[in-house]
Structure 1
Amino acid sequence: MTPTLDKTPASSIPPEQIKAVPVRHYGRWVAGVAVVAVLVLIGLAFSNANINYGVIPDYLTDGTILSGVWHTLYISVLAMLLGLVLGITLAVMRMSSNPVTSTVAWLYIWLFRGTPVLVQLLIWYNIALVFPILNLGFYKDEMNQVMTPFLAALLGLGLNEAAYMSEIVRAGIQSVDEGQTEASNALGMTRGQTLRRVVLPQAMRVIVPPTGNEFINMLKTSSLAYAVQFNELIKRSTDISSTSLAVVELYFVASIWYLILTSVFSVGQYYLERRYARGSTRNLPPTPFQRLKKNLRLFGSFRRPEVAR
């Protein structure tokens, strides 16, 4: 009697169950414990320090502090606008085929990027020592009357920012394919029309992110205007601390306001970048609220790995 052969196909035999064992990352736990320990030590140090934390909320809404916040905000906006307009002009000059204009733009960028902002602010503030009288032909006055702390801060911050913005704009313009310029020239557009209607709109995707970073940096750099007696946030905080003797508390107040301002404009920068990303990416990056919602959903669905079948 011949034995019968088992003709059951191998594919119908269920595989053995695989037990998934998560990999243990002991280094992560050690690093996490170390970071928490350092944070606890820092918190204990500040809690035991001679700081009156109770007065900080009162000073946050103080009229003098709010005036300093307003001065910080509008000097930053005006200096950034001056830097942006002059930066675009310098970028076009730098890319010009005219050797005179390109050399002048290069020298400007070299000079203002190579010297500290604080030195430039102090030079503008003390310019009356060099030119006691401002004589423009149609206008004549003493330089001390013309060069106010506001004007010294505006020129010092804005002209310095122009040197950095010119390089950002130049990089954005050069990122646009040359075929776009050739096509616009073939359509009969002038160089100015090509720059305004074709090149700059496409270059904005490259220009916007670093420009947002420059403005956020400008909010903090404006604190150097304290050296020229401009009534920005640090100057106002120092004025109060000189009478109240709450020096560290007022520095905390100023830091909180800088954090608030930079956080608000960081969110605005994100949405502006997201707008200019349209057309360059298939899917727009998620908004902060969408990202938070996704993380909460993932956290809610987190569980121990099940047995794979």
Structure 2
Amino acid sequence: MRWPRWLPVDPFIAALLGTVVLATLLPARGSAADVGRVAATLAVALLFFLHGARITPRAAFAGARHWRLHLVVLFATYALFPLIGLAAAPLRPDVLTPELYQGLLFLCAVPSTVQTSIAFTAIAGGNVPAAVFSASFSNLAGVVLTPLLATALLHDTGAARMSAGAVGTVVLQILVPFALGQLSRPLTARWIERHRTLTSRVDRGSILLVVYTAFSAGVVAGVWDEVSPARLGVLVAVVCVLLALVLGLTYAAGRLLRFDRADRATILFCGSKKSLATGLPMAAVMVSPQLLGLLVLPLMLYHQIQLVVCAWLARRWGARQA
């Protein structure tokens, strides 16, 4: 069955929401929760192995000469977002609960998306080789930068701490599988290219497993008692404002720095994205299961909203070019 095109929700987001509902109604408990955590750990390692095997260094570095553009995108991803997140501190605790504010900060530390950044840049008539490099390098850098940045941002809240044990966990579950994936490319790249549908399902299935175990632990710990429908609506509004600010500032930066139209499109669509596929597994590695459900909620909302808004923007940019 094909997903109805008239539905505004991405099918993967619908699956995520369904997984959250399932975890809320039938959370894993006891030995089942232990099995789920082990399976989620293995799924995260497999996910980052596939990320490493999928990223093509040669194709990505074809756009490396646009260093000014890449610096702007990196600044937006790893500096502008965190600065906005820190500036939102007065929203705590009256507007956002401390846990949801932690989730907002974690969202600000996550790398850019790869596939959608490149796709929207292409639809808008942007600089696609530069988008390939920026999006790929954002994820490569994020393997190291996101855990460090998230630890720094969440240090005062205590949600994530880069202790010696946490460093070892990040290395074993993220860096080592990613490096092995890169090293395996001579053997695995062609197979992965031929079986994109299968690897995509493995990617998404891994994320759904992490979401189920995370929200199961949260339900058992009683975290949903802290999020009312009104509070959820406020969080959606805050996430929309965050996206609007980043889109406006990246667009303004492109014009002020006198980039041409194609490069401005690349900055806009690469600098405003945040990757659920990378961010959620990283959160699962860094944060205790009891805190994980609420921590990733802002990222899940931002991911869906950015898809809808940026798809509309990309089509408008592309129509103007035509």
TM-score class normalised by the smaller sequence:
under 0.3
What's the TM-score, normalizing by structure 1? 0.27
| Greater helix content | 2
